[in-house]
Structure formats: C-alpha cells, structure tokens
C-alpha cells in the first residue's frame, strides 16, 4: 500500500540544511515510516546558493522568500534551519500558517521569544518539534531505556562536557556563531544546550544553577567572506567577540541529583567531544559522541570479580533504531541522529501525539540557558524560570 506523501519545506541550506535534507531524503529508506516525505522546496535568501543546494540535496524546487513558502497550501511541514536569530520569526510564522514545524535548536535567542513561539504554536494547535537530535543517537536512547527500566537506580550525578577547538586560533574571524546578535550566545547555546537537553531527558528538570561564562579571546578579525560550513576569511580589521567561549555551570536537579556542565571551543584536540556520564545507585552510563555507536554501562550488582564498565556496541537489532540500518557494529554516522529524530516525528504525526522533543523542551532549555547567563552575571545561584 502506498504511503501517504508528506510535503516538506526546508528553510535554510547551510550546515543544518544539509543535515536535515539528508535526513528527510533518507528516513523512509531505512524505516517503515507512516509517511513518505517529499522534498518539495528548499528556501534561502541567496538564490545562487539555494539553487545549488536544491540540486545537491535533491529538492524539487527552491525559493528565496520564506513567507511564500510557508503559505503554500501544498506544504505540510516547515523545517527551520536558519541562523538562530530568525527562528522565532520564521518558525512562529509557519506555526501561524498551521504547518507542522520542526525548528533547529535553540528555539530562540532568548527565553521571551521562545515562550512566544510556544504560545503561538499552542494557539495554532500545530505539531511542533525541536531538533535536539542527540537524544536519538542509538546509545543515548538506549541509556534512556535503561534509566526508565530502573537499571541505573536513583541518579546521583550527571557530568557532561561538550568540547571543541575550532576557534582556538585567535586569528580565526568573527563568524556568525561568535556574534551575539545572530547566535544569541557562544558555546553556551551552541553546545551546552545539547547537554542540557540530554540531562533533562535522562535525569529530569534542573532546579537551580550556578555558572560562569567566559570569553578568552575578546577581539578577533572581522569576517571578510562567509563560508557555508563553520569557517570564513578574516579581514584586516578587528571586531569584538560578543559571545562566550566557555560555559561552565553546576546544577541541582529537581530530584536531588547534582550536575556539572561544561562547554567550550577552546579545548585543543577536542573536536566534537560531547561526553557525559551518569552515576546512579545501581550503576553508571557513559556516552561519547565521537564514538556514538557505543555506550558504556556499569551495573553495581555484577559480581565483584567480573564487574566493570561494559563497552556495549549499541547497533544490535535489539537497540533503539539500529535494527533498521546495518548488522551489528557496522556503525552509523552523525547524520542518522537526524534521521532517527524524523522517524520519531513521523510516528508522532501519524499517532496524533505531540512530538518529542518539542517547543516545551525548547522553552525549558532556554530557561536553563538564561538562568546560567543570569548566574554568571549575578555570581549567585539562579533558578530557571518555570
């Protein structure tokens, strides 16, 4: 029986645009999805680039005006992957058009905007989703399953770092990710936000935080020419770096667990080092994004003679998602965290259930981010606004 087609419009064609294009193209090729996504239209402001992206990523059409796109009656889903500071505008507008809206994280560049978006989405009665894709790395979903089964017991500790080094060189220019007006924040919203989502999903809501945001290199060359990936060409002129280079905070979860969070782009040798560890009364879990097909699991109840962290290759048929890819230990890549998220989204749509994660998660994530920023300024503990 033919699947129901689902027409997708993608706003943004850069790094995340590429990743989302791939996931929309691939999701029904691996999973028995209830819908067949149709890559209808990709939209961006630069016509040459968006046309090239259409050709490269396999979209039917391209467009340069997002408003036209979100108003099209043949579009079912609007997927927003533009720069952070336009999420609220575009995703909000798409919500008002009654579309299903998937928004890249962060939901917005500040909590007030995020709340407005959620209110808009709820008023419009749409299905809203946010792309916290790492939840659906198989090892992370497996961690969730073990925690939900009580295998780790009561959680005492969450300990997460997300470390990169791509701006270590002080002559690297002020790309948009280093500009507060566009990005909202630096490592904080870009990297720590991922840790917060994983922590909220696996441990629970965060009750209070004490944090410190630091900018190690306060001035850099102004950007001369943009590059579609992470980099760009430097000009001779200097400009202020207006975002944090490093975000560190302690947290107390509502359930009593304690947590440490650290995100930085100044960690030489750490390329995409999202690593977290959870310690509970019955065991522990360790995940490292750079080896995302593995989960380390420790059960305290194992006999002491043969007790140790188990290196589980979470790519067996029994593990979340992976039975639909390749045989065990034929690893999947980064891109399939997006594919898996879309699989979940399509299942939610078919079931008429809210997506997970959704804009409520986006708002709460933003609330934690903002509490940390506040704490960094107040030098005191702060509670995320409820």
Angstrom distance (rounded) from CA 221 to CA 345: 41
Give dist(CA 304, CA 299) in Å, integer.
Answer: 10
Among 190, 197, 262, 361, binds its own copies (CB under 8 A): 262
Task: Find the shortest distance in angstroms from Cβ 284 to its own copies.
Answer: 4
Tokens for 58, please give them: 């396999």
Min CB(75)–its own copies separation in Å: 22
DSSP conformation letters of 35-89: EEEEEEEEE-S-HHHHHHHHHHHT-SEEES-HHHHHT-TT--EEEE-S-GGGHHH
Is residue 250 a contact residue for its own copies (CB under 8 A)? Answer: yes
CB of 157 or CB of 180, closer to its own copies: 157
Measured from the Cβ of residue 5, the count of other Cβ atoms closer than 10 Å reads: 13
How many residues touch its own copies under the rule CB under 8 A: the total is: 95
For residues 306 to 345, the per-residue mask of contacts with its own copies, x marking binding by CB under 8 A and - elsewhere, is: xxxxxxxx-xx-xx-----xxxxxxxxxxxx---------
- Contact residues for 16 (Cβ-Cβ < 8 A; gap 6+): 81, 104, 131
Tell me if 165 contacts its own copies by CB under 8 A: yes
The least CB distance from residue 384 to its own copies, in Å, is 16
First to last CA, the chain: 46
Q: How many other CB atoms are there within 10 angstroms of residue 132's CB atom?
A: 26
> Which of 29, 48, 125, 352 is in the footprint of its own copies by CB under 8 A?
29
Nearer to its own copies, 45 or 157 (CB): 157
Residue 189 or residue 280: which is nearer to its own copies going by CB? 280
Exposure string over 268-304, b if 16+ CB within 10 A, otherwise e: eebeebbbbbbbbebbbbbbbbeebbbbbbbbeeeee
Q: Which stretch binds its own copies (CB under 8 A): 113-121, 158-166, 233-241, 350-358?
A: 158-166
Judged by CB under 8 A, which of 19, 23, 77, 196 binds its own copies?
19
Binding segment for its own copies among 13-21, 87-95, 232-240, 365-373 (CB under 8 A)? Answer: 13-21
Residue 314's φ and ψ, nearest 5 degrees, are -85, 50
Phi, psi values for residue 270, rounded to 5°:
-90, 115
User: Between residue 114 and residue 153, which ones bind its own copies under the rule CB under 8 A?
Assistant: 142, 145-146, 151
Site residues (CB under 8 A) for its own copies, limited to 270-299 = 270-273, 277, 279-284, 289-293, 296-299
Least separation, in Å, of the C-beta of 2 and its own copies? 8
Residue 264: strand, helix, or coil? strand
Site for its own copies in 213-242 (CB under 8 A): 214, 216, 229-230
Q: How far apart are CA 116 and CA 139, in angstroms?
A: 34
Determine if 350 is a binding residue for its own copies (CB under 8 A): no
């Amino acid at each position: 029986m033919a699947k129901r087609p689902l027409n997708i419009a993608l706003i943004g064609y850069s790094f995340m645009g590429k990743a989302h294009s791939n996931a929309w193209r691939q999701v029904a090729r691996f999973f028995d999805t209830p819908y067949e996504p149709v890559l209808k239209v990709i939209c961006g402001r630069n016509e040459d680039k968006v046309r090239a992206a259409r050709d490269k990523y396999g979209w039917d059409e391209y467009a340069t005006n997002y408003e036209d796109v979100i108003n099209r009656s043949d579009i079912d889903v609007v997927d927003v992957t533009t720069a952070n500071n336009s999420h609220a505008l575009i995703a909000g507008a798409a919500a008002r058009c009654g579309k299903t809206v998937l928004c890249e994280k962060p939901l917005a560049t500040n909590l007030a905007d995020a709340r407005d978006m959620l209110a808009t989405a709820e008023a419009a009665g749409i299905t809203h989703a946010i792309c916290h894709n790492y939840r659906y790395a198989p090892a992370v979903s497996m961690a969730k399953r073990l925690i939900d089964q009580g295998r780790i017991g009561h959680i005492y500790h969450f300990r997460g770092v997300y470390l990169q080094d791509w701006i270590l060189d002080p002559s690297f220019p002020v790309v948009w990710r280093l500009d507060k007006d566009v990005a909202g924040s630096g490592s904080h919203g870009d990297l720590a936000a991922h840790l917060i989502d994983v922590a909220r999903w696996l441990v629970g809501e965060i009750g209070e935080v004490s944090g410190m945001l630091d900018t190690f290199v306060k001035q850099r060359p102004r950007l001369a020419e943009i590059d579609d990936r992470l980099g760009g060409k430097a000009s001779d002129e200097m400009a202020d770096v207006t975002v944090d280079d490093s975000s560190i905070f302690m947290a107390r979860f509502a359930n009593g667990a304690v947590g440490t969070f650290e995100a930085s782009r100044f960690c030489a040798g750490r390329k995409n080092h999202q690593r977290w560890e959870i310690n509970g009364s019955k065991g522990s879990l360790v995940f490292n994004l750079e080896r995302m097909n593995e989960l380390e699991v420790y059960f305290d109840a194992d006999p002491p003679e043969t007790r140790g962290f188990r290196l589980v290759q979470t790519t067996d048929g029994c593990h979340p998602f992976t039975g639909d890819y390749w045989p065990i230990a034929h690893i999947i890549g980064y891109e399939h965290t997006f594919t898996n998220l879309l699989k979940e989204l399509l299942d939610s749509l078919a079931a008429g259930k809210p997506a997970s994660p959704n804009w409520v998660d986006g708002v709460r994530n933003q609330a934690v981010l903002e509490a940390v920023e506040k704490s960094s300024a107040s030098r005191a503990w702060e509670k995320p606004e409820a």
